[in-house]
Amino acid sequence: MAQKVLKHKVGLEHHGIRNVKHSFWNLSTPELYEHIIRNQEGHLSHLGPVVVTTGEHTGRSPNDRFIVQEPSSQENVWWGKVNEPFQMDKFDSLYERVLAYLQGKNVYVQDCMAGSDPNYQLHIRVITEYAWQSLFARNMFIQIKDRVKLENHSPAFTIIAVPNFKAVPKIDGTNSETFIIIDFSKQLILIGGTHYAGEIKKSIFSVLNYLLPHRHKVLSMHCSANMGEEGDTAVFFGLSGTGKTTLSTDPHRKLIGDDEHGWSEEGVFNFEGGCYAKAIRLNPEAEPDIYACTRRFGTILENVVMDPATRRLDLDDASLTENTRAAYPLTHIAHTVEDRRGGHPKNVIMLTCDAYGIMPPVAKLTPEQAMYHFISGYTAKVAGTERGMSREPTAVFSTCFGAPFMVLHPSVYANLLGQRIADHHVHCWLVNTGWTGGPYGVGERLSIAHTRAMINAILDGKLSSVETRPDPIFGIHVPTSCPDVPAEVLNPRNTWKNPKAYDEKANELAAQFIENFKEYEDAVSREILEGGPRLPNGKKASIKKIK
């Protein structure tokens, strides 16, 4: 069936794209399905999801991400290992080569938006050479449903994704054949050499992490958010694998979003129109809503193993990657906030997946401790979420629980968070979804049932009045009881067979916290520094440089 012809105020020529074979604009989900199957990009699975594979890249490539160093943004960007500079002339040259590559090829265009608050929306355009990546953009971003608005759409930022185009490092100045490059002056993102669709999603998140705090004093957050029956909003900070999506997708609360949000002076709002959930070993009992999405038309399943004859899925099969993914629109979830917006959070929960088995499963934080742990961003990277990782979790510190996507200095985000917590008297918590009874390989992963019980007790207000004890090393306030959770689980030291081994590992982890935080000592107050752990000799970190 021929595509409905629309006039486009801003066409492909605006981006320098010419002489393409066919351009397909804003195709619907069924139309994209037809293209995906016809192009042999993916397969239709049992009950309707489309299954695709991403080849060599089954996770992000952080070492291949760059920001163009240009006059309009160079003094604001937090340059370093995370935000590696890219030369303007090299970007222009690479862009020309990408434009030449697209000649004679089919391209798919999705015009959409990022940001559910109209005051802070970013109009974007995603141009891809694959129909399935166009469906990914349609699922993940906010659709423009008005025909007239689509015709007159003028993108403030454009992504051009060309997975089959490979850079030549000696010519293009990249680190490898893969590249994810953001140019704030041209309002353009180039992605090539990788089929992993997560790069599309996270590149726009990086853009918002620059624009919103810098221009609008809106805190951009790597977090999920949901809302209770009384309208109380909760925010869940955390990196991939910590449980943001699982714990915020709660049948008793309405989901605002699972991964990226802004916190303005009016409240919290989702950046996205969909979810990008980990699919490996999904449990239909523990994660019923997400599991159900893997059985629905419109969902994209990345690297999920499927029986070629029956087309039935095996969500437990990690032979392609541990980082199997399901990308689906928020409308697939039964309990959602329709406008994807909420009020100021009553509770902020910081999720950590502690591979050492040291951190308590739940603890209350003072505002200063919350700031310390937000800046620290301690967790474990779960196997598969980034290229080149081992199968075992690796303990890391990712500032603001999202360092790979933070374009400004961490102090910008931390100061905004501290201001919001103080202004709205927010309760702050640390929840460990990692190991108990010992480190990875010795202990076991904390049960989702126990973690959910702790989250429920937080959100119901039941933990606020419970007696707590200060952790002797980390100083955070650990409840002595929690409904539906055995008391011995709450004290991690009690779960180890050898308490002395726990003490040694706890001191080791405390030392890592303190060493990591030295990078931020100049930018924080004495009170925030005092919110950190104690060294084995009982001393705090040095405060000689603290203002």
Within 10 Å of residue 316's Cβ, how many Cβ atoms?
Answer: 10
Is 226:251 a contact under the CB 8 Å cutoff? no
Strands (E), 353-474: 362-365, 378-381, 394-397, 427-432, 435-436, 444-445, 468-470
Between CA 449 and CA 453 the distance in angstroms is: 6
- Provide the H-helix boundaries in 188-255: 198-211, 244-248
Q: Is the Cβ–Cβ distance between 108 and 137 less than 8 Å?
A: no
Separation between Cα atoms, residue 511 and residue 334, nearest integer Å? 45
H helix runs in 193-327, sequence order: 198-211, 244-248, 288-293
Note the maximum CA span of the chain.
74
Assigned token pair, 356 = 């050492």
- Catalytic machinery residues: 60, 202, 222, 240, 244-245, 259, 325
Residue with tokens 């909760």: 234
Q: Which of 256, 61, 23 is nearest to 163 (CA)?
A: 61
Cα–Cα dist 462/478, whole Å: 14
Asked if 210 contacts 408 with a C-beta cutoff of 8 angstroms, the reply is: yes
Answer for the pair 355, 436: CB distance below 8 angstroms, yes or no: no
Distance CA 413, CA 419 (A): 10
Phi-psi region of 400 (alpha: psi -120 to 50; beta: other; left: phi over 0): left
386, amino acid identity: E
Token couple for 78: 């937090």
Q: Are the CB atoms for 12 and 20 separated by under 8 Å?
A: yes
Burial code of 83-113, b = ≥16 C-beta within 10 A, e = fewer?
bbebeeebbeebbebbbeebeeebbbbbbbb
How many residues are there in the chain?
547
Q: Is the dihedral of CA 391, 223, 339, 208 positive or negative?
A: negative
Write b or e for each residue in 470-482: b if 16 or more Cβ atoms lie within 10 A of its Cβ, otherwise e: ebebbbbbbbeeb
CA-CA-CA-CA torsion sign (323, 328, 329, 330): negative
Six token digits for residue 137: 């953009």
* Alpha-carbon separation of residue 512 from 376, 395, 401 (angstroms): 10, 10, 16
Copy the structure tokens of residue 373: 């742990």
DSSP strand pairing (268-270 vs 341-342): antiparallel
